[in-house]
Amino acid sequence: MFLSTIPNSQFSFKIRQILSFNNWVIHSG
């Protein structure tokens, strides 16, 4: 996955959080 190539781990962590949250919203909606 391309997120692991991002040097700023905090930034990639935030992106992963947002993606998983969007996933949850899509599946629960």
- pLDDT for 7 equals 66
Please compute Rg for the chain using Cα positions: 11
Distance CA 10, CA 24 (A): 21
| H or E stretch covering 13 | helix 9-28
pTM of the model: 0.49
Segments in the chain below pLDDT 50: none
- pLDDT for 6 equals 56
- pLDDT for 24 equals 84
Q: How many residues does the chain have?
A: 29
Distance CA 9, CA 21 (A): 18
The terminus-to-terminus CA distance of the chain in angstroms comes to 26
